[in-house]
A and B are shown apart, each in its own frame.
Chain A
């Protein structure tokens, strides 16, 4: 119950050494990042001037005006609808294949798949990394050579890339699954594959489905633009009409894309909510 203490102002008022050091390294990091950003802007030959010259501005204004009046001829709307369904099918089939493929690749890639099989584990890990490093569109461009133009290449491209992504997520889920049920079966001498099917998979399947549904949201966006490199669907129509500067048709297609993306987002969210029940 004493009164205010007399507090000498002295060395205790300077920031302590560890804090000062942490501060300095944080500032250093920020400077490095700022340096990277500045170097990026400087090294790219960004033509901002081109945005502000009269021709560009006029073109933008024209685009904006045309974009605001979508084409509504019934023939074109039907074409758009068909392309939208094609895009939807691409994303769905691609995600489905990826889930299956990802699961098949995830199993050997987990830690729990046996001690003497580290070669297989590293190999499958490497394959998964390659699959996911290459973006869907690059896969599509590559696959068009083998599968020709059209939605097939797009579907395969989605499947390959997403298999890499899902494979890694699935492998983590398998590793983090509570081991009690699996252990119980192992001690009874059940084979590894059956242990997975009876013990691990039932526990993690809601999580796996959830990941897959979430990737579907990403894949519908990717599928929509796949056509730009020749993968069919809305993207192909978009690329065609944009190339001819048909902004009204472009507007309809963009709206269709937005609607499709929103619909899949909602469907995925609803289904994931259902899974949690």
Chain B
């Protein structure tokens, strides 16, 4: 028996109340009160899915999935587009690295010479904060939006997709690289800096030995994500499997969509596996 209930015995009822009950009830009601308008705002009407018209259309579409289109010419097209999806992702990520690496080096405090003696000086601090801000902006704009803009500048095709991935992933990689460098032990790097080594040399001899595995592992993971992104970007005209799927869907061609979907799932599975193997080897 808790001390509070012992004290309460002299007071009110002998039956004890669950002290958490009221607050749980409150939060549950609050949750529902927030949920209701949200459901309205999203036009959440599951019954619509089962209306006869809707059922007919979707039923027809799903029925078209079987059999999936396996005509050799189409399969060749799907294979080519699959490679293009991978190529867009790889090229985009490679460019993203070109963006991320300098920004990381300019924004991390691990290589700061002025902070050897304590607080970083204002000049370098401002520069680092500006670089961080650039990384944040690059990350926050969804790649689809970049792709939409670039498609209007350079036209349809993979260039827009590659650039969109480069910018967004550059920002993502830059931020996480900085975090990894700064969260790992800095003792070795600091000691080298204190003894007069140059900044880049310190990076390679003091910081990378411990962080390299994590950095590479994260980059490989992001490559895997980029493959998925590049498929999605196809929907706004950036080429690859996504664009093919968009075309087929606009024509309600269920069997083509089925083939493309399967190709996509296989692609994701393979890149998952490659990524996992690579990361195991590295780490």
Q: Name A's B-contacting residues (CB within 8 A).
A: 29, 36-37, 39-41, 43-48, 50-51, 56, 59-60, 63, 85-86, 88-90, 92-93, 96, 129-130, 133-135, 137-138, 141-142, 145-148, 150-152, 154-155, 221-222, 224-225, 228-229, 232, 235, 238-239, 242, 245, 254, 257-258, 261-262
Contacts and interface: CB of A to CB of B under 8 A. Distances in A.
Given A46-B159, A50-B155, A133-B268, A146 B142 contact: no
Q: State the majority secondary structure of interface residues on A.
A: helix
B154 A262 contact: no
Contacts, number: 158
B144 A228 contact: yes
Given A93-B38, A135-B232, A152 B159 contact: no
A45 B246 CA distance: 21
Given A41-B91, A50-B153, A129-B269, 10 more contacts: A41-B94, A44-B91, A50-B159, A56-B154, A138-B235, A145-B61, A150-B43, A221-B142, A228-B236, A258-B141
B245 interface: yes
B90 interface: yes
B232 A137 contact: yes
A138 B265 contact: no
Contact of B54 (A90, A135, A148, A155): A148
Contact of A47 (B87, B154, B235): B154
Interface stretch (B8-16, B44-52, B115-123): B44-52
Contacts of A262: 140
Given A40-B87, A151-B43, A133 B264 contact: yes
A93 B40 CA distance: 10
B24 interface: no
Contacts of A261: 140
B249 interface: yes
14 contacts: A37-B91, A44-B84, A47-B155, A47-B157, A93-B39, A134-B261, A135-B228, A146-B49, A148-B48, A152-B43, A221-B142, A228-B144, A229-B235, A257-B142
B140 A145 contact: no
Contacts of A137: 144, 232, 235
B225 to A, nearest CB: 10
B17 interface: no
Interface residues of B, number: 57
A239 B144 CA distance: 10
B37 interface: yes
Interface in B76-100: 83-84, 86-88, 90-91, 94
B130 interface: no
A225 B38 contact: no
Given A137-B232, A225-B142, A39 B87 contact: yes
Contact of B153 (A36, A56, A88, A145): A56
Contacts of B142: 221-222, 224-225, 257
Contact of A40 (B49, B86, B157): B86
A48 B159 contact: yes
